[in-house]
């Protein structure tokens, strides 16, 4: 019996969601967190759990909730 395309897509989406959840749980302990933006060794502005990009506000101290939101956003972008 062949798996329908819709079911296959649902299974793939569920697997991706599971992988994102696992990554979100593991990354903080591996990456560490910096609530204040800093320039990494090659000069890229970075904050929280390794987030980079033009949206970083250099003078801001990010909350843990903001760092989690950035991590989730970054993981969703990688998954898609």
Give me the phi and psi of 4, to 5 degrees please: -65, 155
Structural domains of the chain in order of their starting residue, each with its CATH number: 5-79 (1.10.530.40)
How many CA atoms lie less than 13 Å away from 19 in the CB half-sphere?
Answer: 11
Q: Check if 74 is active-site.
A: no
10 pLDDT tier (thresholds 50, 70, 90): low
- From edge to edge, which strands make up the β-sheet containing 51-52? 34-39, 45-48, 51-52
Judged by average pLDDT, the poorest of 22-26, 46-50, 70-74 is 22-26
Marked catalytic residue, from 40, 55, 64, 77: 40
pTM of the entire predicted model: 0.69
Q: Check if 40 is active-site.
A: yes
Is pLDDT of 22 > 60?
yes
6 pLDDT tier (thresholds 50, 70, 90): low
């Amino acid at each position: 019996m062949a798996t329908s395309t819709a079911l296959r897509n649902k299974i793939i989406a569920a697997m991706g969601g599971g992988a994102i959840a696992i990554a979100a749980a593991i990354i903080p302990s591996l990456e560490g967190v910096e609530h204040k933006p800093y320039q990494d060794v090659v000069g890229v502005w970075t904050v929280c759990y390794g987030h980079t990009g033009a949206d970083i506000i250099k003078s801001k101290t990010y909350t843990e909730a903001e760092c989690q939101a950035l991590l989730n956003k970054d993981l969703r972008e990688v998954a898609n």
